[in-house]
Amino acid sequence: MTTPVTDALTLKPQGEDLIAHLSGDFSNGMQHQPPEAGFPFGGLLAALCAQAMRQGLGLTAPLRSLAVQYLSAARFDDDVRFRPSLLRGGRSVAYAAVQAHQDGRLTHNGAATFGGDGDGPTIAQISAPPPPLDSLDPAATIAGPMAPRFAQHVEFRFDGGPNILGGNEGRPVVERLWMRIADGRPLDELRLCYLLDALYPPAWTASRRPPMMTTVDLRYDILADPTPETSPDGWAFFEFRMLDLGLGWTVDDAVCWGADGRALALSRQRRKLIPPRRAAREG
């Protein structure tokens, strides 16, 4: 029996810290391998950083931005301890930080901005509405022994993909798809944090032999809170795009769109390429 996403996002208070148990069900390793062949999924850890700041500091305003540095890989053999701090709290905006430790070792450093909406001019940037969900092939998904373990908690519906392992070779490195958490519950900020990282690196579609890589930092900007109208039954449309690959790095962007074509959130992720010899040792 797998651990539900809701349980994986639960933090338990312990002194000044909030404790998360990292289940192997959320490994980025492949399903045919033991969880320890990979590491805890970065989107889950980003969501836990956001939740630790909200819960630990009693913040009620919506999450507007989140930045996480992945300092060292967390493991499945010990709980992670999150310690949030309020940098500045105001009437309209609050600035918070969090550090995560495991067995005395610093694993993550995060910062977030929380703020309520207000009156002011509005210029809505509306894209063309995404393709209807029911127009896409349900078989266009990620499944099977080569899928990462964390993907078992997500429903995917690709628009022209998946193109992993060279499907985008010689053309724009972009993947477009509908996604939702498989339990079908409404999309909220934590589930959005999970989904904004719930796809393989776009660079893995540009070549049949993609390089290995590890996330260094990940940033989210939430533009509008999901609603049942913009995210029916928990679904939202995502576009993942590689911006650059070179000099030992790759940088990606993702945009989350509501059903009406309104942008809900943005992400940018920087990954460091792992030299082949080191990748062989770690594999």
On whether residue 125 sits in a domain, the answer given is: no
DSSP notation for 222-270: E-S---TTTSGGG-EEEEEEEEEEETTEEEEEEEEE-TTSBEEEEEEEE
On whether residue 33 sits in a domain, the answer given is: yes
Provide the pLDDT for residue 283: 46
Domain, as residue range, for 173: 5-116+132-282
Residue length of the chain: 283
User: Which range, of 50-59, 74-83, 136-145, 247-256, averages the lowest pLDDT?
Assistant: 136-145
Provide the pLDDT for residue 243: 97
Per-residue pLDDT tens digits for 17-46: 999 999 999 999 888 889 998 999 999 999
On whether residue 170 sits in a domain, the answer given is: yes
What integer is the mean pLDDT of 217-229?
96
The closest alpha carbon to 217, from 83, 22, 71, 113, belongs to 71
On whether residue 140 sits in a domain, the answer given is: yes
Instruction: Say how far apart CA 108 and CA 72 lie, in whole Å.
Output: 7
| Long-range CB contact pairs, 61-64, < 8 A, 24+ | 61/93, 61/94, 61/114, 61/115, 61/116, 62/114, 62/115, 62/116, 62/117, 62/189, 62/222, 62/225, 63/112, 63/113, 63/114, 63/189, 63/222, 64/112, 64/113, 64/114, 64/115, 64/221, 64/222
On whether residue 76 sits in a domain, the answer given is: yes
Please, which pLDDT band fits residue 117 given cuts at 50, 70 and 90?
Answer: confident
Residue 253 has pLDDT above 50, yes or no: yes
Residue 281 has pLDDT above 70, yes or no: no
On whether residue 123 sits in a domain, the answer given is: no
CATH of the domain at 47: 2.40.160.210
User: Which range, of 112-121, 198-207, 237-246, averages the lowest pLDDT?
Assistant: 112-121
On whether residue 153 sits in a domain, the answer given is: yes
Give the global pTM: 0.93
Classified as helix, coil or strand, 272 is strand
Mean pLDDT of the chain: 92
Residue 279 has pLDDT above 70, yes or no: no
On whether residue 203 sits in a domain, the answer given is: yes
